[in-house]
Amino acid sequence: MKHIYTGKTKDVYQLEEGNYLLKFKDDVTGEDGVFDPGSNQVGLTIEGAGRAGLSLTKYFFEKLNEKGIATHYVDANIKEATMTVKPAKVFGKGLEVICRFRAVGSFLRRYKSYAKEGQPLNAFVEVTLKDDELQDPPITKDALDMLGILSADEYEILKKLTQDICRIIKDDLASKGIELYDIKLEFGRSEKDDHIMLIDEISGGNMRAFKDGKYIEPLELEKLILS
């Protein structure tokens, strides 16, 4: 097993057979000790966050695989906080795809002259570059195409996949009395056939979810969904 990369919330290792191993950590994004799924820096450590994030990731990836949606997921070991995944190539130096059902977070900060906090959004999709130095700037479909990061046709595939995936997650949460406000996903191309597939994770660490109008912390969200 060869160490490849140390990330904010996961470490990545290459396995001998060609797959990769993701080691989930208890670090979560935020600022000044306050959790924020939209932040691009580690803000705090929450004991058990790694296993909780992996448990939800396993739950949702297996559900998506059953529905025929391509993901990089192979299997997971909750006790060891590890997940085995198929190799994938990211777009450019990495993209984040956000799907928004309500106006909160960076969307509200950018458009506060027009948007009201919490107002409904119809599965609005936006793409940002993974660039800590530039604070993950949003990028348009045309810019992605012109810069050779993602073709216009691939963008449309990515957008539809994002909305399909996020509506599945939203409906699953709704069945448990939980409302999904927004969620951040990542995609890549399969190294085997260049097919676009969902990568990274789906956990409380990359979504905002509320119950009875109250925000649910990542560890509590895992308990509510999987109990």
- What is the CATH code of the structural domain delimited by 89-226? 3.30.470.20
SS3 content of the chain, % helix, strand, coil (to 5): 30, 35, 35
Question: Which residue in this structure is represented by tokens 């997940």?
Answer: 83
Classified by CATH at the fold level, domain 2-88 comes out as Phosphorylase Kinase; domain 1 (3.30.200)
Q: N- to C-terminal Cα distance for the chain?
A: 34
Q: What is the pLDDT of residues 192-208, one digit of tens each?
A: 899 999 999 999 989 99
Tell me the domain boundaries of the chain.
Answer: 2-88, 89-226
The listed range with the strongest mean pLDDT (180-189, 203-212, 216-225) is 180-189
- Would strands 120-129 and 138-139 be described as parallel, antiparallel, or unpaired? antiparallel
**pTM, 2 dp:** 0.91
CA distances from 66 to 81, 89, 102, 186 (A): 23, 23, 28, 19
Question: Which residue in this structure is represented by tokens 């529905």?
Answer: 67
Give the pLDDT confidence score for residue 40 in this predicted structure. Answer: 66
Rounded Cα distance, 28 and 35, in Å: 7
Rounded Cα distance, 86 and 75, in Å: 10
Same fold? 2-88, 89-226: no
HSE (side-chain half, CA atoms, 13 Å) at 213: 2
3-state secondary structure of 161: helix
State residue 226 phi and psi, 5-degree precision: -95, -5
Q: What is the pLDDT of residues 6-34, one digit of tens each?
A: 888 899 999 999 999 999 998 777 776 67
